[in-house]
Amino acid sequence: MRHKRHVHEVLVVTSVAATLVCVGGCASRHRPPPQQFSATAPFSRTFSGSGDSVCWSVKRALLSQGYMLDRGNEGGVLTGSRDDQPQPKLNVTTRLQTSCADNRNGTSIVFVTAMREESQLQKMKQSTSLGVGPATLTMPSGSAEVLGTVRRETVRDPVFYDQFFALVQNFVSQESVATAAAAAATAPEAQRQQRPTQNIPASASASQSGERD
């Protein structure tokens, strides 16, 4: 009797476990795929100002942080890279690609994508080939340290992009202040050039002529 009860309990436990596995497997099969596109992604920002002003501010932001800009870029596209060495045998390369466009409504949009690549010094065995008659012998000749890529990824940290866009906004504000100051300086000169010449009435001119006669 005890044996039958034990067998029954084992069957019940096995059935419950199989049910849980089935539920978990079914849930994993019907789980929606991870979201690939989102309207709240941190890779773009809109600024007040013309395309020329905002694009120039983006360039200033990159140069001010030590990024080396690639030449031969398309209009509105800037690509720059910077190397850092946080550890003696670790090199980190950050590569940014930015695109800016005028929205034709007094604002401009900037897109930026950052790629982070980590390279580390690694030992690599070297060999030397020796020809002996018709045969060729390959013999080890030691090892050398070479720089190999150990990690490469797209930067997705919103804080990284917030800091970059804040720097761009700083230069955009400087450009706005400089433009306003230049416009204020040229306004009096333009007003003087556009001021109409005072005309003397014909009757007054005739009377003045008669008095002179």
**pLDDT tens track for 33-91:** 767 787 778 999 999 999 999 999 999 999 999 999 998 667 789 999 999 999 888 99
Residue 154 falls within a domain, yes or no? yes
CATH number, position 85: 3.30.310
Residue 24 falls within a domain, yes or no? no
**Coil, helix or strand at residue 15:** helix
Residue 27 falls within a domain, yes or no? no
Residue 35 falls within a domain, yes or no? no
Residue 64 falls within a domain, yes or no? yes
Neighbours of 123 (CB within 10 A): 10
Q: Which domain does 123 fall in, by range?
A: 40-181
Residue 126 falls within a domain, yes or no? yes
- Report the number of distinct structural domains present in the chain: 1
Mean pLDDT, the chain, rounded, equals 78
pLDDT, tens digit (0-9, with 9 covering 90-100), for 87-136: 888 999 999 999 999 999 999 999 999 999 999 888 777 666 666 556 66
- Enumerate residues 6+ apart whose C-beta is below 8 A from 108: 46, 47, 49, 50, 51, 53, 54, 55, 100, 101, 102
CA-to-CA distance for 170 and 177, rounded, in angstroms? 11
